[in-house]
Structure 1
Amino acid sequence: MKKYLQNLSIQIWLVFWTVLVLAPFILIFLLSFRSNIDIYRDGLGLSGKFLPENYAETWKGATGTTGMAQYFKNSVIAAGVGLGVSLVFGVTSAYFSIHFAPRWRELYLRIFMVMQVVPLVLLVIPYYQAFNAFGILNSPTMVGVAYGVLALPTTVLIMQSYYVDFPKELIEAAALDGAGPYRTFFKMVLPLSFGPITAVAMMSLVFIWGETQLGVILLQDTRFQTVPVGLLQFKGQWATDLGVLFAGLSIASFPIIGLYLIFHRNLIQGVTNGGMGGR
């Protein structure tokens, strides 16, 4: 009976936590179909005129303004470049770092641990000065490179924890078959690392897709802004069309939610496997 009550309390808590997490998304989605008057009248979005055209206006943008379609395109570019930089350099360096001597491996990882705890606000001005000096402001591609560099510490630390416990027998067997270190990595190790790589890719994507602080400084032209930065333009100086704003928030959250639903098992497995590694 005691065990049953414990299990029941855990299930109740999980249900409560799930509702607590999903409630904001559901509320935003409901309000995205309402007008300002209906939103002020009913803050839950359960009544009022149904306005699916809010999404069309958000996607295309009003006359003379940039819409979510352009912001979405810029975010895809920044996310693609950022993930490429983070995964290519992070996964590769994490694997080959396990071959370092313990002393050098510890020093190598400490560098990334320090990078992990540096507040982003301290890097805003140096990034702006560097981008301005090289003339690469308002470039989603170069902002993606910056995001990839910022995501490197997480990628390296998680993947190194996974690779440090990677079966040495498989690597030795590949060496006996005549495979060099690079061939072993690309032909054998990478295919077996799908779970952890998916986990760090999702973590990096969530950061890149929602990053605003650096994007506001480096992407000042509305034509090149990413989704979270562009959403700030939906707020007017004197008035804001809340329905259109909530529609933009819904569109911004759809890709991340969809990818999580597709890869959530790989994400959980990858984080678990990565977190079990030791030095």
Structure 2
Amino acid sequence: MSRTTRSPLSIVGHGWAILWTLISVLPFIFIVLLAFKSTTAIYTDPIGLVGVDWKPQNFVDAWNGPPGGGGFGFYLINTVVVAAIAITLSLVLGSFTAYFLSLASARVRRIGVVILLVTTITPVVLLLIPYYQAVNLLGLLSNPPALAIIYVALVLPNTVLILQSFYLGFPPELREAAALDGLGPLRTFFTVVSPLSRGPLVAVAMLNGFNIWGETQVAIVMLVQAQSRTVPIGLFAFQGEFQSNTGAIFAGLTIATVPVLIAYLIFNRQVTKGIALGGVFR
């Protein structure tokens, strides 16, 4: 009886999983396909496989960058530097803030959550002029680490909200045991709580990394010089006023996606575990 009852649900579940996988993978396959075609072939026969003008040179053009640009190697290095600084600082500050906010009284916690929610719904475009004026006043335009600090401010509210949901469910018995051993709140956080928070921290790091890796609104304003550009802004350089190297753009997108896929495949288990432990989507 149970097998008969579960069989249709199992078929539907597997079918939905296959469909969702295809929906997720097909866009990337399509980008890779276009990356090997000439600009003419992209516009005349985007999905064709036979009799089209293949152009693997697109990857060389994408890596070298357009004339006067910094080259894709510079873009990747800048993006990695920005992402590493922003992710590290957001995790340190976010986990610290989230933990002690979870220990606060219910009233203080509600006020803190409201403030964080307000910051998350504030459009980034409203902050561009203040950010630009502050960075320009400090002489830090076209400075990737300065851009990373801005990203920390942008991702920190979500980081705190997500981690707080995990720390609220953290077993109080562990904190009480640490207190009996003579550990204060600060040492408890670093020696007991943080080592057990690896899953949620990795999940938040991946979510922040995805957002930072493809961000364009702030980067296009702050990174003026060619050699300071990140990957998304560097790809814009292939789009000119009168002509564009569309094949190189898709080749650049392919190259830029590979590190993200590798990172996800490596940390997929920790991300899934972190989401389950922290109740991210509650």
Closer/same/farther in 2, CA of residues 73 and 277 from structure 1, 3 Å limit: closer
Match of 2:248 among 244, 248, 251: 244
Q: CA RMSD in A?
A: 1.8
Determine helix, strand or coil for the equivalent of 2:237: helix
Q: Which runs of 5+ in 2 are unaligned?
A: none
Q: Check if 1:39 corresponds to 2:42.
A: yes
One-letter amino acid of the structure 2 residue matched with residue 122 of structure 1:
L
Q: Check if 1:180 corresponds to 2:187.
A: no
Q: Check if 1:275 corresponds to 2:282.
A: no
Work out the CA distance in 2 between the residues paired with 1:103 and 1:29. 52
Determine helix, strand or coil for the equivalent of 1:98: helix
Report what 2:207 is aligned to: 203
Work out the CA distance in 1 between the residues paired with 2:204 and 2:67. 40
* Conserved? CA contact 1:35–1:49, under 8 Å: yes
Report what 2:90 is aligned to: 86
What does residue range 1-12 of structure 1 map to in structure 2 within 5 Å?
A: 1-12=4-15
Residue range with higher mean Cα deviation, 204-213 or 173-182: 173-182
> What is the aligned-residue identity percentage?
43
Match of 1:22 among 25, 29, 41: 25
Deviations 1:26-79 (A, max 9, x none): 011121122223323430252435443322221122443321111111111111
Residue range with higher mean Cα deviation, 56-65 or 109-118: 56-65
Report what 2:140 is aligned to: 136
* Conserved? CA contact 2:66–2:237, under 8 Å: no
- TM score, norm. by length of structure 1: 0.93
What does residue range 103-122 of structure 1 map to in structure 2 within 5 Å?
A: 103-122=107-126
Report what 2:258 is aligned to: 254
Work out the CA distance in 2 between the residues paired with 1:52 and 1:276. 42
Q: Check if 1:98 corresponds to 2:105.
A: no
Deviations 1:90-132 (A, max 9, x none): 0111111122122112211221111111111211122112212
Closer/same/farther in 2, CA of residues 133 and 32 from structure 1, 3 Å limit: same
Report what 1:66 is aligned to: 70
One-letter amino acid of the structure 2 residue matched with residue 186 of structure 1:
F
Report what 1:159 is aligned to: 163
Residue range with higher mean Cα deviation, 99-108 or 209-218: 99-108
* Conserved? CA contact 1:60–1:68, under 8 Å: yes
Work out the CA distance in 2 between the residues paired with 1:46 and 1:149. 46
Work out the CA distance in 2 between the residues paired with 1:209 and 1:58. 18
Work out the CA distance in 2 between the residues paired with 1:277 and 1:253. 25
Closer/same/farther in 2, CA of residues 68 and 123 from structure 1, 3 Å limit: same
Q: Which runs of 5+ in 1 are unaligned?
A: none
